[in-house]
Homo-oligomer: A and B are copies of this chain.
Amino acid sequence: MVAPLKLGIAGLGTVGAELVRLIEQRGRSLSTRCGRGVRVAAVTARSRTKKRGLDLNGVGWAKNPLALASDPGIDCFVELMGGSGEPALSAIEAALKSGKSVVTANKALIAKHGLRLANLAEKHGGALNFEAAVGAAIPVVKTLREGLAGTDVNRVYGILNGTCNYILSRMEQEGLSFAECLKDAQRLGYAEANPSFDVDGHDTAQKLAILASLAFGTKVAQSAVYVEGISSIAPEDLRAAEQLGYRVKLLGVAVRTAKGIEQRVHPTMVPKSSSIAQVMGVTNAVTIDGEGLTPITLVGPGAGGAATASAVLADIADVARGIRAKPFGRPVAKLRAIQKAPMERHEGGYYIRLMARDLAGTAAAIATRLAEQRISIESIVQRHANGVDASAVNGKPSPVPVILITYATSEDAVYRALHAVQRDKVISGRPQVIRIEKN
Contacts and interface: CB of A to CB of B under 8 A. Distances in A.
**A contacts with B: majority SS:** mixed
A330 B301 CA distance: 25
A104 interface: no
A374 to B, nearest CB: 35
B314 A32 contact: no
A306 B293 CA distance: 7
Interface stretch (A143-151, A219-227, A418-426): A143-151
A138 interface: yes
A264 to B, nearest CB: 23
A142 B279 CA distance: 23
Interface residues of A, number: 59
A211 to B, nearest CB: 15
B322 A324 contact: yes
A35 interface: yes
A306 B150 CA distance: 10
B22 A150 contact: yes
Interface string A296-331: 111111000011011111111110011111100111
Nearest to A314: B150
A87 interface: no
Contact of A139 (B148, B152, B301): B148
A231 interface: no
Interface of A: 22, 26, 29-30, 32-35, 131, 137-139, 142-143, 146-152, 217, 275, 278-279, 283, 290, 292-301, 306-307, 309-318, 321-326, 329-331, 334
Given A29-B152, A321-B325, 13 more contacts: A33-B149, A35-B331, A137-B151, A137-B290, A142-B143, A149-B317, A150-B309, A150-B314, A150-B317, A151-B314, A275-B278, A296-B298, A296-B301
